[in-house]
């Protein structure tokens, strides 16, 4: 099963992608998480990507493709995956199609999690993230059992540098300009499914499961 999660920053792609991945036993692949691990480990790729991420811009396609192609080549991707935050531009989606075509394969589902910008801005301020396992929490809607500590791996939770309100505004602007055209691209191919992302996390998940089974 090969699934792409689409939606604005903070729409809940990561939250839903993790649940889908664990339900179907396939990997959750978030390019944002992969970049954050590279930034934390101060790799050459991480240093280059940080400059763009901290300003709310997209990382250039060539750096993203270098990262994702290596990941999709790993053994755990054979039965499928949930892509979260990739593709984000038309050239990235064409590169993904090309990689899949070469394996006689194709994408099966793209799930758009639809949330208005004003809801997003509120959500981001309350988000706390685990840099070790990528899980996200929220100060009001999804609190960890122990304050400031990840339930799953015990690491400290942080407020992401790019969740500052002015950077969130920039990320939303970039999303509407560079990523939203993908919605039409996948709709024309007949594989786009849109869910309302403003309800409860569990309700949205059920809606997605109904699409996938
Ligand atoms: P990335 O990490 O992908 O960030 P993003 O797309 O901006 O998305 P977020 O992770 O911020 O949000 P999300 O939709 O996963 O929401 P979440 O589930 O956490 O990318 C970061 C940066 O890396 C980019 O800006 C770019 O620079 C670069 N990058 C990454 N991939 C790239 C690519 N392919 N090309 C170029 N550049 C790339 O939820 C948000 C919050 O809301 C959480 O606190 C959560 O608990 C809460 N929440 C979730 N659902 C609900 C709900 N239903 N109700 C209430 N609260 C909810
Ligand atoms: Mg995310």
Measured from the Cα of 56, ligand 1's closest atom is: 25
Q: How much is the pLDDT for 76?
A: 96
Ligand 1 center from residue 101 Cα (angstroms): 28
Residues 6+ apart with CB under 8 A from 59: 31, 35, 48, 49, 52, 53
> Binning pLDDT at 50, 70 and 90, where does residue 122 land?
confident
**Measured distance CA(203)–CA(199) in Å, rounded:** 7
Ligand 2 center from residue 175 Cα (angstroms): 13
DSSP output for 57-81: PPPPHHHHHHHHHHHHTSGGGTT-E
- Mean pLDDT across the chain: 95
Residues 163-173, mean pLDDT to the nearest whole number? 93
Residues 191-212, mean pLDDT to the nearest whole number? 97
**Measured distance CA(73)–CA(30) in Å, rounded:** 15
Residues 64-83, mean pLDDT to the nearest whole number? 94
Task: Please give the order of strands across the beta sheet that includes 2-6.
Answer: 28-30, 81-84, 2-6, 109-114, 192-196
Residues 167-176, mean pLDDT to the nearest whole number? 96
Residue 35 and residue 49 in contact, taking contact as beta carbons nearer than 8 Å: yes
Q: How much is the pLDDT for 205?
A: 98
Q: Is the pLDDT of residue 161 over 90?
A: no
Residues 150-178, mean pLDDT to the nearest whole number? 94
Measured from the Cα of 163, ligand 1's closest atom is: 11
Measured from the Cα of 57, ligand 1's closest atom is: 27
Ligand 2 center from residue 126 Cα (angstroms): 14
Query: For a substitution probing ligand 1, which of 5, 10, 151, 169 has the most ligand atoms within 8 Å of its CB?
Result: 10
What percentage of the chain exceeds 70 in pLDDT? 100
Q: Annotated catalytic sites, by residue?
A: 13, 88, 127, 160, 171
170-179's contacts with Cβ under 8 Å and 24+ in sequence apart are 170/55, 170/56, 170/57, 171/9, 171/56, 172/8, 172/9, 172/117, 172/120, 172/121, 173/56, 174/56, 174/57, 174/58, 175/8, 175/9, 176/8, 178/58, 178/88, 178/89, 179/6, 179/88, 179/89
| Ligand 1 neighbour 36 (Cβ under 6 A) | no
Query: Which residue's CA lies nearest to atom 26 of ligand 1?
Result: 58
Q: How much is the pLDDT for 67?
A: 93
> Binning pLDDT at 50, 70 and 90, where does residue 176 land?
very high
Report DSSP state, residue 149. Answer: B
Question: Which single residue is written with the structure tokens 């400031």?
Answer: 148
| Ligand 1 neighbour 134 (Cβ under 6 A) | no
């Amino acid at each position: 099963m090969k699934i792409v999660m689409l939606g604005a920053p903070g729409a809940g792609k990561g939250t839903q992608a993790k649940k889908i991945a664990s339900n179907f036993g396939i990997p959750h692949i978030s390019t944002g998480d992969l970049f954050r691990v590279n930034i934390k480990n101060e790799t050459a790729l991480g240093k280059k990507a940080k400059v763009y991420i901290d300003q709310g811009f997209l990382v250039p396609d060539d750096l993203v493709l270098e990262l994702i192609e290596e990941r999709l080549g790993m053994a755990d991707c054979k039965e499928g995956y949930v892509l979260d935050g990739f593709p984000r531009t038309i050239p990235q989606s064409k590169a993904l199609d090309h990689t899949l075509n070469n394996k006689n394969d194709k994408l099966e589902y793209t799930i758009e999690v639809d949330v208005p910008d004003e809801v997003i801005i509120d959500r981001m301020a309350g988000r706390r993230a685990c840099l070790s396992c990528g899980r996200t929490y929220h100060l009001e809607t999804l609190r960890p059992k122990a304050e400031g500590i990840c339930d799953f791996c015990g690491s400290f939770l942080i407020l992401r540098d790019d969740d500052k309100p002015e950077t969130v505004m920039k990320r939303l602007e970039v999303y509407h300009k560079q990523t939203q055209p993908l919605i039409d691209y996948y709709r024309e191919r007949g594989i786009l499914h849109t869910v309302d992302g403003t309800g409860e996390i569990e309700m949205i998940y059920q809606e997605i499961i109904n699409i996938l089974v």
